[in-house]
Copies of this chain bind each other. A is one copy, B any other.
Amino acid sequence: MRTMSGLFIAREFFGLARQASTNADLMQALACVSISMGFDYFALTHHVDFAAAGHAAVRLHNYPDDWVAWFDARRLGVSDPVHRASQATSIGFTWQRVPELIRLTPVDRHVLDCARERGIGDGFTVPAHVPGEATGSCSFAVATGRCVPFDNLPLAQLTGAFAFEAARRINGTRSLDAQAPTLTERQRDCVLWMARGKTDWEIARILGLSQETVTQHLKQARERYDVPKRSVLAVRALFDGLISFSDIFRR
């Protein structure tokens, strides 16, 4: 009775993932659930160049070694077509749908062919994007020549999403900084418009102040954060939630 076993699989994985306190714990849980769902491989990864990236980037997988070597030699972490496709949707997709999401180049087709030659056939990828963090995904794949277990794709969607969040937790998601500086309302106004790309003169017009006053507010905000430049001030205020991406981009 597949219906019943699907939810049993989910509950078991959620329990393991919730208890996981290391990447190894999570890897083991993912290896088991992949098999249970009818997949052969999994890969939970940030879409970065692992040769250049440091410690904070996550990559947990059980892909064949020769595929991984080939992938890394070409530094495909950023440009892999499946990774690129995952930036065009908010829910999971089978790899057969990739050409509907992005325009495939000849190089992309070659990458997919080489994966097939090295044992990775079709798959299902669950995107995970949190603003301010590297984009990522959790993929489940079948060996070359096998079929994706279509009935279990909703379960794979849930599992992939939950696994990525567990990885964020284990590897240290940003924590709320109780000691972060606060800004006055006026300082925050000026920081928000600066982050929108306005000059002091423009902000002065918008808020009905003199240009020097705007300069002063931004200087005082920088001093509270002890940063030398406005670019890092904007980043810090974003990180602390004093301003939000939506607020910045609003028209």
A241 contacts B by Cβ under 8 Å = yes
| Contact indicator A129/B132 (Cβ below 8 Å) | no
| Contact indicator B131/A229 (Cβ below 8 Å) | no
Contact residue among B56, B90, B176 (Cβ-Cβ distance under 8 Å from A103):
B176
Please name all residues of chain B whose beta carbon is closer than 8 Å to the beta carbon of A180 when the two chains form the complex: 87, 103
A133 to B164 CA separation, bound complex (whole angstroms): 21
Known: A103-B176, A135-B241. A232 touches B130 (CB 8 A): no
Q: How many residues of A contact B (CB 8 A)?
A: 78
Q: Which stretch from A22-30, A113-121, A190-198, A208-216 is at the chain B interface?
A: A190-198
Please name all residues of chain B whose beta carbon is closer than 8 Å to the beta carbon of A49 when the two chains form the complex: 185, 250-251
Give min CB distance, A54 to chain B, whole Å. Answer: 6
A79 to B244 CA separation, bound complex (whole angstroms): 7
Residues of chain A in range 39-85 having any CB-CB distance to chain B below 8 Å: 47-49, 52-54, 56, 77-79, 83-84
